[in-house]
Amino acid sequence: MDKNLIVILGPTASGKTAMAARLAAEIGGEIISADSRQVYRGMDIGTGKDLEEFRIDGRVVPCHLIDILDPDQEFNVFEFQKRFYEIFSALREKRILPVLVGGTGLYLESVLTSYFLPEAEPDERLREELAGLTMGELQDVLLAMKPQLHNQTDLHDRQRLIRKIEIEKARQNPPKGQTCFPRIHAGIFGILRPRAELKKRISARLHLRLAGGMIEEVFRLREEGVSWERLESFGLEYRFIARYLQKKMTRDEMVSGLETAIGQFAKRQMTWFRRMEKKGVSIEWIPGGDYPALSGRVMKMLS
């Protein structure tokens, strides 16, 4: 069956973006980012928005779903799925092969398994019912509906908590009639590195980004009006640096804690990808840095 999408996934610091950009340049494709934080403008160093990686032999590989929102705007898996299908359909109409690259497992899974995500309208009756509940009671309601919650920050913000309950209710009670998605026939490749090597890459990259102005980036975002709470909600680099700037931890505590947290995040990403495989998503794993192996497998698949 002809493939209409190439997917390059992998944990943070695996080198997937550089390999995906090189592949897209080779096949005349375009990149679609599956990263929950790279959608935000001004969040460059902390999200690893290495735009120079998309410049191959003097040509800039077109990228989608990068720098499309301000940091105070919400973006979720429903919005990602909706925008992905719009871009995917537009590229296929032009006979361009999209290359989806990222490490946000929920986003990847939402298009690879085409599961239904409702665009829930505000439910005033439900909001009235929830208005009198405490934060703890609201958390219990949501966790009863969805025990495996992807975004834990939803549990600590009343407005987001109520909105999440609305969306989950709509998901569990979808409208009659089948939701139509474009047919996806994906070749899926994972970039895999030994654990010890990945740990070294995470450490080296972190120190490079700190030297490159990552702390200053978070400070600038705060100066531009992004709240501490919002910065911390972005997790990892933004959470730890925001706490450091608020003098809640020392620089050494920030760096060591962040390095550990990124390593744990990479482990969770791999757990998610393995779970996708158990659900029937076929991933062909390529050794990190072995671009000829990736290129060869893709060319064979497309021939």
CB 114 within 8 A of CB 184: yes
Predicted pLDDT at 217: 98
Grade residue 174 by pLDDT with cuts at 50, 70 and 90. Answer: low
Return mean pLDDT, the chain.
91
Give the separation between CA 135 and CA 143, rounded to whole angstroms: 12
> In 3-state terms, what secondary structure has residue 287?
strand
User: Nearest-CA neighbor of 255 among 202, 207, 195?
Assistant: 207
**pTM for the model:** 0.82
Grade residue 175 by pLDDT with cuts at 50, 70 and 90. Answer: low
Q: The tokens of 163 are what?
A: 């909105």
Predicted pLDDT at 147: 64
Give the separation between CA 238 and CA 216, rounded to whole angstroms: 11
Grade residue 114 by pLDDT with cuts at 50, 70 and 90. Answer: confident
Predicted pLDDT at 179: 59
Task: Write the CATH number of the domain with boundaries 5-116+179-302.
Answer: 3.40.50.300
Q: pLDDT tens digits for 223-233?
A: 999 999 999 99
Q: pLDDT tens digits for 243-253?
A: 999 999 999 99
Predicted pLDDT at 143: 83
DSSP 66-108: SS-B-TTS---HHHHHHHHHHHHHHHHHTTPPEEEEE--HHHH
Give the separation between CA 79 and CA 98, rounded to whole angstroms: 18
> In 3-state terms, what secondary structure has residue 284?
strand
Lowest-confidence range among 19-28, 45-54, 128-137, 285-294? 128-137
Lowest-confidence range among 146-160, 207-221, 278-292? 146-160
Q: The tokens of 11 are what?
A: 């944990």
Give the separation between CA 88 and CA 81, rounded to whole angstroms: 10
Give the separation between CA 67 and CA 49, rounded to whole angstroms: 9
Give the separation between CA 121 and CA 276, rounded to whole angstroms: 30
Predicted pLDDT at 236: 96
SS (H, E, C) 31-69: EEECCCCCCECCCCCCCCCCHHHHEECCEECCEECCCCE
Residue 154 has pLDDT above 70, yes or no: no
Separate counts of helices (H) and strands (E) for the chain:
12, 8
Residue range 79-98: average pLDDT? 97
Report domain extents, the chain. Answer: 5-116+179-302, 124-172
Residue 176 has pLDDT above 60, yes or no: no
